[in-house]
Amino acid sequence: MSFLKKLFGLGGGEAPQEARAEPQDYEGFTILATPYKEGGQYQLCGVISKEIDGERREHRFIRADRFASMDDAVEMTLMKARQIIDQQGERIFREA
């Protein structure tokens, strides 16, 4: 029965562990790297935020990239966030 619970996601499995790094400021934006453990590796994931007209806006992003260490995942998340900011600026907060 234990095998079936694991197979179908039933029962008390381990919750995904999210790693958090210190927020980084870049070009007036704040970047928070939030990689999480998936399949024994860390998935690239983060949040870009900025206060606009007194309102805090956030853009969450996740990529398929996975890394063996949390430090590598954080470094690459910060790099990807800076790239998103450089390419899109405040447009990332516009609703589609």
User: pLDDT of 68-85, one tens digit each?
Assistant: 999 999 999 999 999 999
pLDDT band at 92 (very low <50, low <70, confident <90, very high): very high
- Domains belonging to the chain, first-starting first, are 16-93 (3.30.160.350)
Record the pTM.
0.77
Are 36 and 47 spatial neighbours (Cβ–Cβ below 8 Å)? no
When pLDDT is cut at 50, 70 and 90, the band that residue 60 belongs to is: very high
Question: CB count, 10 Å around CB of 94?
Answer: 9
Looking at residue 18, its pLDDT comes to 52
Predicted confidence at residue 94, as pLDDT, reads: 87
Distance CA 90, CA 20 (A): 24
43 forms beta bridges with: 36, 66
Could you tell me which residue, 12 or 48, shows the higher pLDDT?
48
User: In whole angstroms, what is the distance from residue 59 CA to residue 51 CA?
Assistant: 12
Please tell me the distance from the alpha carbon of residue 42 to that of residue 77, in angstroms, as a whole number: 11
